[in-house]
């Protein structure tokens, strides 16, 4: 059951987005494109920006 005020569709979309960010994070670290700290910060910034613009 989704948190109060959120539809299941919204929660599924958010989970898919966060999962994609996590996959990007792992890829960037494995390929040596960014340090762990840089990659984590970038993905957190991406999630934060998405949540700021998220509309129900």
The pLDDT of residue 47 is above 90:
no
Take residue 4 and report the two structure tokens written for it.
């109060």
Distance, CA of 36 to CA of 29 (rounded, Å): 6
- pLDDT for position 2: 61
- pLDDT for position 1: 61
Summarize pLDDT for 13-40 with one digit per residue, the tens: 888 988 888 898 889 889 998 888 988 8
Neighbours of 43 (CB within 10 A): 20
- pLDDT for position 5: 75
Q: Where are the domains of the chain?
A: 8-53
């Amino acid at each position: 059951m989704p948190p109060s005020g959120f539809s299941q569709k919204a929660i599924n979309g958010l989970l898919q987005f966060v999962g994609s960010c996590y996959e990007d994070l792992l890829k960037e670290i494995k390929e040596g494109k960014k340090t762990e700290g840089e990659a984590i910060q970038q993905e957190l910034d991406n999630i934060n920006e998405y949540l700021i613009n998220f509309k129900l």
